[in-house]
Each structure stands twice: as structure tokens, then as C-alpha cells.
Structure 1
Amino acid sequence: MVVKNQIKLIKSLHQKKYRNLHGLFLVEGVKTVEELLDSGLRVYGIFTTDVSILKGRGDYQVLISESELKQMSSLKNPNTVLGVFYKPETWKVDFKDWVVALDNVSDPGNLGTIIRLCDWFGISHLVCSKDTVDCYNPKVLQATMGSIARVHVGYMDLSQFLRESGQQVFGAFMDGQSIYGAKLPSSGILVMGNEAHGISEEIRALCHKKIGIPQFGKLTAESLNVATATAVLLNELRR
């Protein structure tokens, strides 16, 4: 049975300040909830209108009504299951492979897609500047399609991280050397910048090499979407 205080708590998790205050976040949808359960994250509770959907997960499940789910959900049409999880503990970056770093990426859909891309290309660590959108934003989590369970995402002072990493730093720039001709090491840090302004001057100064994606079209597009650019660059890093 769900009490009003629980509904109030879960609704508050739509806002970053309350996610930080309680150390909790929520996800919606059967697939994403299942993947987070399989990841070993500590569970606060699984709230569902149909307890038969998540078989073998009875210990966590709380049966709720459609109206209660609508009160908790951030979606216009809630998807049967809503999970509340404790945020993972802090982690140490492993520099044996490539690391992706984001400098003030602000769009939730872009961050969610980049997390999903990291999962696809086997990038385990994603480092975000403190002004990058929160990875536990419900819109970000929807866009990850469960990949948040397999990619370590951390927020820190990006300039300090780059200075202390001891790694080669590759920044994505419009005027950078073509990625198709660049000599790339087996590990390093790939920095992607803000949707409107790119990589900041402070972070630009810490990039050892500027790389980019050449334009082949005759019409001049302003730029590539940051998530699309990340997909192209990660493909080349792995190729």
C-alpha cells in the first residue's frame, strides 16, 4: 500500500535538488526497470499496476492504482512500472580505455543518447562537467533505454579532471583535423562540447589535439548535433 508521503517523495524526484537531497532517482518502463534491477543497484521500491509483469521480483514490488501511478509519473501516458533506486556510490575512472567527457551538454535527450552510445561502443566511463544536465533527469533516463545501468557517469570539475588525468585529450571542434586521417591511440579522453557554443575556452586550452568531422555536403549546415557527432567519433575510435 502506498501512502501519501511516498507519492510526495517520488513526485519530488522529478527535480534535481530532491534527487540530490534523498540520494534517489526514478525510472519508468519495464525494460529500464529490469535492467537496473539486474545491474545490482540498491532498490527503494518498484511501483506497478500489474505485479505479474516483473516475474521473480516480488520482494520489491508494490501494487498501485492507475491514478497513483499518474501522480508519480513524469510521463503523459505512464508505462505500468516505475522504479525508485538509490544513486550509485562514487567510482574511480579507469584510463585503460577511452573515456568520454562532456563540457556543459545541456539537452537531456542528447545526454541520454550519448550514454546509450557509450554503452554501444563499450565506453564504461562518462565524465561530465558540473553544469552538464543531470543524468538522473527522467528525460535523460528515458533516452538511455537502460544503458545508464552499464555506464559509469560522474560529475566533477572538468578542467581539474583533464589536468590531473595524465591522458591525451582530444577535443571535438568544427575546425579540427579530420577524424578519418587522425592517428588515434588505444586510449585517451574524447571531449564533446555544448550544443550551442562547443567546447569552452578553458577546456579548449587543455585539449592536446583538435579533431573534427569533415563536411561533404554542398549546402552549409551549421553543425552536427552533439549526440550525432559523438556517434561518428566513437565509431572511428573503435574502427
Structure 2
Amino acid sequence: MLTAHKIKILQSLDKKKFRQKYNLFLVEGNKTIKEIPTSKYKIDEIYSVNPAELSIGNLVATEISSTDLKKISFLQHPKDSVAVCALKEELLVEETGVQLILDGIQDPGNLGTIIRLADWFGISQIICSEDTADFYNPKVIQASMGSFLRVNIVYQDLEKYLSINSHPIIGTDMDGANFYNFEFPSQFNLVLGNEGNGIRPEIEDLLTDKITIPRFGKSQSTESLNVSMAAGIILGQIFGQK
């Protein structure tokens, strides 16, 4: 039964402090929920308007009304089900190939899209600065379209982490080399900076190379590319070389 107290707890999970307090986050939609059992995440409860459509092992979904679904959903147009999942411990894994480094990405939509891109290109790990948006944010989870289940995401002190990293550190910069002509190594860190300020100076000092996406259009009204858009273009070029 979905009690008023439970509804209040689930509604509070849109804020990081309450996700950490209860050690819970929400995943919405049958398609993504069905993928959770094959990941490292654990489902605590499922609430669904049609439990018959969602059978996951021994876990039985609790039937709720569409009105209650709207109360606990963070979507403007709620889907069929909501799963309540436990947060997992952050663990660094051995890096292979390309590793993304996110320096101060603030927009949840951008973060979710970058996670989805990493999954698409087979990138297994993303290292985030401590001030990057929380990937358990409902908007990030939704934008990632389930890709957060397959990409390891860890928050670190980037300056400390990169200063002891032995692989090339390549960052985006307006004054960098044309990335279409750049020969990417087989294993490296790709740093993407904050939406408005780019890569912070102390991280920029650690870069071994700088790259940029050249502008071909003549219009000067577009000052820069959205960070997730830039990530997609760069990753397409990187993996197109392989």
C-alpha cells in the first residue's frame, strides 16, 4: 500500500540530501526498470498502474492508481511504473580506452545525455568533479535512458585524481588544435568543462593536449556548442578513427 508517509518520502527523492538520507533513488518506466536486475543496482519496491506488465523475479509490483503515480513521479507525463532503488557504493574500475572526465557539468540533461553517449560508444567509466550534477537526479536518470545502469560513474577531486593519472589528458578548448586532424591515443582521458566557464584553470594546467571543434558556418551568433552536443561530435570522430 502506498501510504501518505511513503508518498512524502518518495517525493523528497528529487533532492540529493534526501536521496542520501534514505539511500534511495527512483527509476521510471517499465523499459528501464526491466533492465535493472542485470545491473549492479537493487530494486527495493515497484509501484505500477498495471503490475501484470512488470514481472521481475520474485519481486511483485504494488498496484497504484494513476493519481498516485502522478504524486510520486517526477515526469510531467508519468509512465507506467516507478521503481525505488538503493544507491550503490562508488568504486573506481580499471580504466580502458577512452575515459570521460566531467569538470563542473551542472545541467542534469547534459549529464544524462553524456552518460547515454558513453554507453553508446562503449565507454565504461565517467569521472565527475565533486560539483558536477548528481547522476541520481531524476532528470539525469531520465535523460540517460537506462545508460546509467551500464556506465560506472564516480565523483572525485579531479585535480588530485588527474595529477596521479598516467594517461594523456585531453581537454576541449576554443584555442585547441583542430580535433579532426588530431591523432588520438589508444587510451586517454577526455575532459569536458562547465557549460558556461569551460575547464577550470587548475584542471587546464594538467592537460597534455587541447582540442577544439572548428566552426564551418559563417554566422557569429552561435558562440559555442552545448557540452553534450560537443561530446557527441568528438566521440564520433574518436571512434571513427578506430
Q: Same fold (TM over 0.5)?
A: yes
Partner of 1:202: 202
The answer on whether the counterparts of 1:43 and 1:60 sit within 8 Å (CA) in structure 2 is no
Cα separation, partners in 2 of 1:26 and 1:56, compared to 1, 3 Å: closer
The answer on whether the counterparts of 1:101 and 1:128 sit within 8 Å (CA) in structure 2 is yes
Give the secondary structure class of the aligned counterpart of 2:101. strand
**Amino acid aligned to 1:79:** K
Which 5+ residue runs of structure 1 have no aligned equivalent? none
Partner of 1:229: 230
Partner of 2:88: 88
The answer on whether the counterparts of 1:110 and 1:227 sit within 8 Å (CA) in structure 2 is yes
The answer on whether the counterparts of 1:49 and 1:69 sit within 8 Å (CA) in structure 2 is yes
Partner of 2:112: 112
Partner of 2:41: 41
Distance 2:13 2:22 in 1: 8
Distance 2:19 2:60 in 1: 20
Residue correspondence of structure 1 range 87-236 to structure 2 within 5 A: 87-220=87-220, 221-236=222-237
- RMSD over aligned CA atoms reads 1.3
Distance 1:53 1:21 in 2: 31
Which 5+ residue runs of structure 2 have no aligned equivalent? none
Distance 1:38 1:81 in 2: 18
The answer on whether the counterparts of 2:90 and 2:153 sit within 8 Å (CA) in structure 1 is no
**Amino acid aligned to 2:238:** L
Distance 1:188 1:60 in 2: 44
Single out whichever of 19-28 and 55-64 deviates more from structure 2: 55-64
Distance 2:57 2:3 in 1: 21
Distance 2:23 2:82 in 1: 17
Give the secondary structure class of the aligned counterpart of 1:140. helix
**Amino acid aligned to 2:25:** F
**Aligned-residue identity in percent:** 42
Query: What's the TM-score, normalizing by structure 1?
Result: 0.95
**Amino acid aligned to 1:25:** F
**Amino acid aligned to 1:152:** N
Distance 1:42 1:80 in 2: 19
**Amino acid aligned to 2:233:** V
Distance 2:85 2:26 in 1: 6
Give the secondary structure class of the aligned counterpart of 1:165. coil
Single out whichever of 62-71 and 177-186 deviates more from structure 2: 62-71
Partner of 1:54: 54
**Amino acid aligned to 1:224:** L
Query: What's the TM-score, normalizing by structure 2?
Result: 0.94
The answer on whether the counterparts of 1:49 and 1:63 sit within 8 Å (CA) in structure 2 is yes
Partner of 2:11: 11
Cα separation, partners in 2 of 1:7 and 1:189, compared to 1, 3 Å: same
Distance 2:60 2:141 in 1: 20
Q: Deviations over 1:136-184 (max 9, x none)?
A: 1111111111111101111111111111222110001111101111121
**Amino acid aligned to 2:237:** E
Q: Deviations over 1:45-74 (max 9, x none)?
A: 111010111134552411112222111111
The answer on whether the counterparts of 2:51 and 2:60 sit within 8 Å (CA) in structure 1 is no
Alignment coverage as a number of residue pairs: 239
Q: Deviations over 1:54-108 (max 9, x none)?
A: 1345524111122221111112221110011111222223222211010111111
Distance 1:229 1:43 in 2: 34
